[in-house]
Amino acid sequence: MNLILLEPGDIQSPAMSQSPFGNSSGDEHSEQPPIRAQLRDRRFQHVVEVHRADVGDKLKVGLLDGKIGEARVVERGESHITLEATFHRAPPPPLPLTLILALPRPKMLKRTIQHATALGVKKLYLINAYRVEKSYWQSPWLAQDKLREQCLLGLEQAVDTTLPHIELRKRFKPFVEDELPSIASDSLKLVAHPVTDAPCPVDIQQQTTLAVGPEGGFIPYEVEKLQEAGFAPVHLGPRILRVETALPVLMSRLFPGR
């Protein structure tokens, strides 16, 4: 946890009517007055057990969907810790990317959501594909609160505060035919596919929509449907990578240093 993320429910003062939340797009230099926040959950455990923080120590904090700053520990109890925090800088910019990801198996889903979030993905569609097992859609890890938990872990890892927006689409064809054209309009459209001649481009400066297949890959019909929607198949070299490995390789190729 490289960043302690504070949520509205943690804030003790100022009153929530003066809440600093939702101010990430504000003036970079206009510092909010300090806020007091109390932590009791796994963040308390982490701050105490990993950071070994005590009164007077400083921690890096962020406001969920807001700015990043610094907090001082002002009180440490048996089951809570109180921080006084100020915020002064914006979170890292989002990747100019919409990710269309065939639903991974539940165990991999958690890691994939964390990695995608840590890499800066802010818009993600989890979609069905022929080689996505039907049972994956029953996973409790697809509940919004569970997805949110994984996103929070990714944000804490990457020192970011902006939650990604995740949507589920259980039917491939209607999604690709009816929705994808407007989702991907005015963007570079790519589908990561090992069996193609075109290498994945490097250092893209434009908004991009990227489709990534399931563990078994997209079937030819699905690649054709994506191509009809304007998606160009691109490869990452001769090695076939797991989805969780392919994602960081794709991101670092498309958006190096971002």
Q: Which CB sits closer to ligand SAM, 49 or 215?
A: 215
Among 133, 177, 215, 228, binds ligand SAM (CB under 6 A): 215
CB of 79 to ligand SAM, least distance (A): 44
Locate all alpha helices (DSSP H) within 28-78, ordered by sequence.
42-49
Q: What is the rounded distance in angstroms from the CA atom of residue 98 to the CA atom of residue 114?
A: 16
Is residue 89 near ligand SAM by the rule CB under 6 A? no
Residue number of the CB atom closest to ligand SAM: 217
Cα 31 to Cα 67: distance, rounded to the nearest angstrom: 10
105/161 Cα distance (integer angstroms): 27
Cα separation of 85 and 14, whole Å? 11
Judged by CB under 6 A, which stretch of 4-12, 105-113, 163-171, 215-223 contacts ligand SAM?
A: 215-223
- Residue 107 engages ligand SAM in binding (rule: CB under 6 A): no
* Assigned token pair, 258: 């971002």
Q: Which of 46, 235, 253, 258 binds ligand SAM (CB under 6 A)?
A: 235
The contact mask relative to ligand SAM for 170-199 (x = CB under 6 A, - = no) is ----------------------xxxx----
Among 40, 165, 171, 239, contact with ligand SAM (rule: CB under 6 A): 239
* 218 touches ligand SAM by CB under 6 A: yes
The residue among 120 and 213 lying less far from ligand SAM, judged by its C-beta, is 213
First vs last C-alpha separation in the chain: 20
**8 Å CB contact between 10 and 20:** no
Instruction: State the chain's maximal CA–CA distance in angstroms.
Output: 61
